[in-house]
Amino acid sequence: MLDALSYDFMQQALAASLLASIACGVIGTLVVVNRLVFLAGGVSHAAYGGVGLAFHYGWPVLPSAIGFSVASSMLMAGVALKRPEKADTAIGVLWAAGMAFGIILIDLTPGYKADLMSFLFGSILAVPLTDLYLMAALDAALLAMVALCHQTLLVTSFDREFAEARGLPVRTAHYLVVGMTAVGVVMLIRVVGLVLVMALLTIPPFIAARSARSLPSMMAAATAWSTVFCVGGLALAYRWDVTSGAAIIAVASAGFMAVSGAGALRRAIGRRNPQ
Amino acid sequence: MHMPSSAPGMPGAPHTSHEPVIAVRDLCFAYGDEPVLDHVDLTVERGEFLAVLGPNGGGKTTLLKLLLGLLTPRSGSVTLFDGAPKAALPRIGYVPQYSTARLDFPVTVLDVVLMGLAGTRRGLLGRHWSRDAASIDRAREALEQVGLSGMEKRMVGELSGGQRQRAVVARALMAQPELLLLDEPTASIDPQGSFCFFEFLGTLRGPHTLVVVSHDLSIATSTFSNVAFVNRTLVHSRGAGLTPEMLTMLYGHHEKTCPMGAFISSVSGLFPVLPRMDELPPVATTAPSGSLVSADATPSPAAPSPAAKDA
């Protein structure tokens, strides 16, 4: 098994796992505590519209996808802020519309067809070195941003009304969280695929939240869990020759169920033997 | 416009001076075409404890948000400490409805209380407060003041409803506010707990001016100095006491056979220690027309305002 580590592609896959886990741990924690999971799903799917635009007009893919998803995320964030009761519907519409728009544009483009499957599942085993550097830069920018405004993020995430009454920039903080999510998610999709991004954005923070005592510790624990799932999934993929992204999600889902089950068991025992 | 005449505070009321902390003049507010507050006047003086009662959707929370400057009046003015509400934010301690905070949030009680120091510095970036020994000591003192000593290391989700509410009061106390605004503080507390909570709020009176919005009648047992009834219009009376007339304003007309009607007609017997409203000196109140109505102008209950639709 350990001989796998001697392959270049495996080393790069592990590096990509760690870098993606850091981004997912940080963004995922903010997404989960702000209840923005559905919005993150909408943003990441709508990004396919940007991919379609890029292919149809021959624009560079990454900037187009980021521009498209930041624009659609600001739209969703605005609705979530001003008409919270309509946010669910608006996100659902943009989610579907962005994706359909991308597919139609790619259908209308002659010649090379971008592969929808690689958008959905990515390929963590074939990450070019330049993408690793790009992800390292994204992680550094994210960590710097979160460290700089962590008190604003803490107060506005915990109790928005109180933050507003203390004169904190509640709206700016909301758009910042959504914008960071949009940029981060698009960069990660390129590397590991949409489905894996959604899994790593939600499952590790959920498990981390059960024992974390602060936002930074939740981010650290989510990153650690995410790395464990990635390494476990890659090992499974190597051993049985199955799709790496799906193997990582399988391991993460098993972890999710094990932790939820253990929690339910502990509560049941606690009810039977009250202190 | 008329100015509400000031009446002497209740005998023995602590630290009441005639310096106005809140001055609301002829305030109107609407969401779209739906009028929520109609020609409202209100004066709260330093050291007073104002209970703001009224049905759901009657405009209580809207009034509080106007006081905080989070909403802008259609017409009329809101003055806090002789200035605009936004300028007064550092002097206000706000306790929002608990439902606005997240229960499953990874944060300790100590860190929740420390958040009360936020807002002393503006801006998205940088630190709003420091987590040094002095701040932590101050947070411990605030927790002691609300009866939560030794709880600082608990997670916020481990506290009971009443404890959580005390913790957010401690958070509001961190900024050493002159004015405390509380929105439905007992909404997440069981009835027994809410009696204790209102009693605890009474102990804060003195150094702080308090405004408590509630539709919880157990506030009647606390030591409030004035009552305002908000149901699109506002009727303000100095002195503590609930009368059947006030309850009718709050809950509408009920037949004697209806449980609510029976309750309303028995209420003056329920709280016998409190002075009845008609024994108190009349204080300026407002009616939709803006005319001056004195609070003892009963028996017919003060103009029941058009039933506000549930917000």
- Whether the pLDDT of residue B58 is over 90: the answer is no
Contact A245, A28 (CB under 8 A): no
Separation of alpha carbons B184 and A165, rounded Å: 16
Q: From the CB of residue A260, how many other CB atoms can be counted at a distance below 10 Å?
A: 13
- Whether the pLDDT of residue B265 is over 70: the answer is no
The H or E element spanning position A187 is helix A170-192
Note whether A165 contacts B89, CB cutoff 8 Å.
yes
Residue count of chain A: 275
Residues of A with CB below 8 A from B111's CB?
A: 154, 214
In Å, how far is A63's CA from the nearest CA of chain B? Answer: 26
Task: Name which of B96, B127, B128 is nearest A162 (Cβ-Cβ).
Answer: B96
What is the arithmetic mean of pLDDT over B147-153? 86
What is the arithmetic mean of pLDDT over B7-12? 40
Residues B17-42: tens digit of each pLDDT: 677 888 888 889 988 888 888 888 88
Residues of B with CB below 8 A from A153's CB?
A: none
In Å, how far is A171's CA from the nearest CA of chain B? Answer: 10
- Whether the pLDDT of residue B117 is over 60: the answer is yes
What architecture is domain A2-272? Orthogonal Bundle (1.10)
- Whether the pLDDT of residue B8 is over 60: the answer is no
At A222 the pLDDT is 95
Q: What is the residue extent of each domain of chain A?
A: 2-272
The size of the A-B interface in CB pairs under 8 A is 91
Residue count of chain B: 311
Q: From the CB of residue A149, how many other CB atoms can be counted at a distance below 10 Å?
A: 22
Give the type of residue at B206.
G
Mutate to test the interface with A, among B98, B102, B130 (most CBs of A within 10 A): B102
At A205 the pLDDT is 94
Contact B115, A158 (CB under 8 A): yes
What architecture is domain B20-294? 3-Layer(aba) Sandwich (3.40)
Task: Name which of B89, B96, B125 is nearest A167 (Cβ-Cβ).
Answer: B89
- The 3-state DSSP class for residue B229 equals strand
Q: In chain B, what percentage of residues exceed pLDDT 70? A: 65
Task: Name which of B94, B105, B108 is nearest A162 (Cβ-Cβ).
Answer: B94
ipTM of model: 0.83
Pairing of strands B233-238, B226-231: antiparallel
- Whether the pLDDT of residue B283 is over 60: the answer is no
Read off the pLDDT band of B2 (50, 70, 90). Answer: very low
Note whether A209 contacts B127, CB cutoff 8 Å.
no
Residue A165 neighbours by CB under 8 Å, 6+ apart? B68, B70, B89, B92, B94, B96
Q: What is the residue extent of each domain of chain B?
A: 20-294
Number of helices (H), then strands (E), belonging to chain A: the values are: 12, 0
Instruction: List per-residue pLDDT tens for chain A, 275 residues long.
Output: 667 778 888 888 899 899 999 999 999 999 999 989 999 999 988 988 988 898 888 888 888 888 898 999 999 899 988 888 888 899 999 999 999 999 899 888 887 666 777 778 777 888 888 888 988 998 999 999 999 888 899 999 998 888 888 888 889 999 999 999 998 888 888 778 888 888 999 999 999 998 899 999 999 999 999 999 999 999 998 899 888 888 999 999 999 999 989 888 888 887 777 65
Residues of B with CB below 8 A from A168's CB?
A: 118-119, 128
Q: Which tokens hold the place of A87?
A: 């946010």
Note whether A160 contacts B111, CB cutoff 8 Å.
no
Residue B247 neighbours by CB under 8 Å, 6+ apart? B263, B264, B267
Task: Name which of A165, A167, A209 is nearest B106 (Cβ-Cβ).
Answer: A209
